[in-house]
Structure 1
């Protein structure tokens, strides 16, 4: 009974948003498994960890079960959500399906951080291949992410001043995350024994 309760508590903690979302070092110190997942994504797709982390912050505030708000007719009758976006990465159902098909990651879940950041690595890799956007370019990677590869190519974002502003915010956060991460990545990469006994 106690063991089951402990598992539930630990599960809830692991999926809860980080306490200090503005600081990438604090995020990864609190959630070491997220750091491992981010490094795995970087090795697999070549996308620097600070770019998808900045995009994820914007999309879901690191909430594992985030969804777009419910829409209402006449302010009372629920008519559904604006899109099928869900989870850490706010991936839409169809795009997630393409990711699963192309990567073979059949057990992937949008509410699992490891899968969500791998999805974002896959997406940024395709944005580079399809539209020539550098994986280090958080602003234009985010515009691809929001508008889709075809929309980005057609420059649909030019008619959305609010989106261009948000992409700028993502870019600035990405740069802050990069600067923070440069200060702590060596410490984060050290093993548990070394951190515990050698400070």
Structure 2
């Protein structure tokens, strides 16, 4: 009987860890919902901040912009003939929406071969690493959410070739959304004592 109860409690706890947080517009509420024994998003985001020098609000705002904090997020499928579900436009997946090639590159360069795009902690580390590469390769300031996002969306090479300008309305809107959220998250985290 004790084993059955323990198994049910463990299943409920693990299932709760994977649930997408509500109130994603409030960083404090997001972290409150993910502050448990098995998962602690604040600790994971702070660890990524310390490792890569990218502010925690920017790491969180990247996840908000890319996946809405959905663990298994994927780009929507294209439609064939306007209604038949077809291929996805990219291999982006998980919290960070990292594509296969970039994720493999991160795992190889960081030595984190078992990192998973569905792990919040691993995704936070990836985002910190990628943004630090933007700082190193393209001279973006670590707290420049707008240009960090353009690097993230366009890739380092395209950002450099285009002089930091995007011809894509999607990238520009995403960068504006991320800049707004990073500023909001920073204020919220300071107000609730988590910054």
* Shared fold, TM over 0.5: yes
| Structure 1 ranges of 4+ moved more than 4 A | none
**1:52 to 2:52 alignment:** no
Q: Find the partner of 1:101 among 96, 101, 108.
A: 108
Ranges in structure 1 where 5+ consecutive residues have no aligned partner: 190-199
SS at match of 2:78: strand
Deviations 1:104-132 (A, max 9, x none): 11111000000000000000110000000
Residues in 2 aligned to 1:132 and 1:143: alpha-carbon distance in whole angstroms = 13
Residues in 2 aligned to 1:143 and 1:67: alpha-carbon distance in whole angstroms = 19
**1:9 to 2:1 alignment:** no
Q: Tell me if structure 1 keeps the 8 A contact 2:154–2:171.
A: no
Residues in 2 aligned to 1:166 and 1:5: alpha-carbon distance in whole angstroms = 41
The count of aligned residue pairs is 187
Task: Give the CA deviation at 1:25.
Answer: 1.3
Q: Tell me if structure 2 keeps the 8 A contact 1:71–1:78.
A: yes
Q: Report the equivalent of 1:29.
A: 32
Q: Find the partner of 2:129 among 102, 118, 122.
A: 122
Task: Give the CA deviation at 1:76.
Answer: 4.2
- RMSD, matched Cα: 1.6
Residues in 2 aligned to 1:95 and 1:54: alpha-carbon distance in whole angstroms = 20
Greater share of residues in helix: 1
Ranges in structure 2 where 5+ consecutive residues have no aligned partner: none
Q: Find the partner of 1:135 among 142, 155, 161.
A: 142
Aligned pairs for 1:35-74 within 5 A? 35-74=42-81
**1:19 to 2:22 alignment:** yes
Higher mean alpha-carbon deviation, 21-30 vs 87-96, is at 21-30
Q: Tell me if structure 2 keeps the 8 A contact 1:127–1:141.
A: yes
Structure 2 vs 1, CA of residues 72 and 161 (structure 1 numbering), >3 Å: closer, same or farther?
Answer: closer
Structure 1 length as normaliser, TM-score?
0.89
Residues in 2 aligned to 1:38 and 1:88: alpha-carbon distance in whole angstroms = 13
